[in-house]
A and B are shown apart, each in its own frame.
Chain A
Amino acid sequence: MSGISTLLREYDVLGAFWVTIQLTLWGALGALLLGTVVAVCRVSPVGVLQRAGTWFVTLVRNTPLTLIVALCALGVSNTLKISLAPPDSPTFIVDNGFRWGVVALAVYHASFVAEALRSGINTVPTGQAEAARSIGLGFGATLRHVVLPQAFRGAIAPLGNTLIALTKNTTVVATVGVAEAAYLMRNMIEFNPSLLYFIFIVMAAGFVVLTLPVGLLFTWLSNRLAVRR
């Protein structure tokens, strides 16, 4: 018992999960922005942008996140010396690693966000837009009053799944040394192998606590807002 209390005193479990939460939130924000741009490109009537969007999604979705994280943190940051934090700040290494981790997470999940948004738009039958045009609504009004409200509702469930996947995938940035939950777990086990099972249960339970409410919320939302057809 005393081993457990010293373990929890020595290692900042809550702090590590706070890093996980920050990675999730910033990563989700970046993925939403970039994913929206990509989705707009993919559904635009301009061939060049469509092809660029399709290429982005195909390339990113088929690459392991671990590889993207390595490319960002080791390739672009260390080799090309492009840093995302002021190099003279005392927390440079931590900040730079964290920010490149966020960039990698955002780029990787942007492809899933783009697919979620596009599948949301695809759930709207063409007849809806045709009906809107035939009663005289212009492009903007059709989009604002008819198509997008239905499209967003259709995209809620896949967006929720992407957010849950993102939360779990934040652990991957541990591979380049960002001190989040999986990194801490590894350190804790390395130095306290006798408490292996306890450590795993605690850290795994942390992720259940993080992802379960999000899953319940998005399931409830998508059922509540579902467009009955």
Chain B
Amino acid sequence: MAKVIHYYAHPGHRFSHANKAMWQAAQAVDGVTRVDLYGEYPRHDVKIDKEQQRLLDHDVIVFQFPVFWYSAPSLLKEWIDLTLEHGFAYGKDGDKLRDKWMMLAVTAAGPEAAYSEGGYQHFPLRTFLTPFEQTARLSKMRFAAPYVLHDALKSDPSAHAAGFVELLEGLRDDRIDLEKAEAVECLYRDSIASVLHRSEGSLAQ
């Protein structure tokens, strides 16, 4: 059993389709710590000690958010700015997060084709997520492939949410092979099976 913490950051939760469905579906997953960042810090006054303790208490850190302007909603950035202190996450004695895993679960309004050199977003989605990837690396964490929903305003949120539940449970029960997940570009609802441990995979077949 891995200790999983699921951070959710969405200032427009009320109007959300995909992220709301994911967050609500995740409520049914036992044994995972859930934090609604905008609910806990409506005035953006992130409590540094509390958040650092939370990170220390868990092995896998999942951030769920919609991609806003090629980045995270501002409170998550504030959370990173404050929590990942020098001496804690990086720099001198900054090894407290060593060997933990970071994983993103993001939704993007653009279709998959848009995130390519010929598409209107011009870059692959992973390029926009490199700041998070490098944040993980500097903090001596490992960065698994993000769980992605493209075309988030049009596609069916319930299937993606069900996949998210499968992912969280898989992380919690050590059924997800994180090494495999680290090697792929992105994870989708129908590719979760490909990153299960071998024995699990054969069972599934």
Q: Do A and B bind each other?
A: no
Hey, which bits of chain A sit against chain B, CB under 8 A?
none
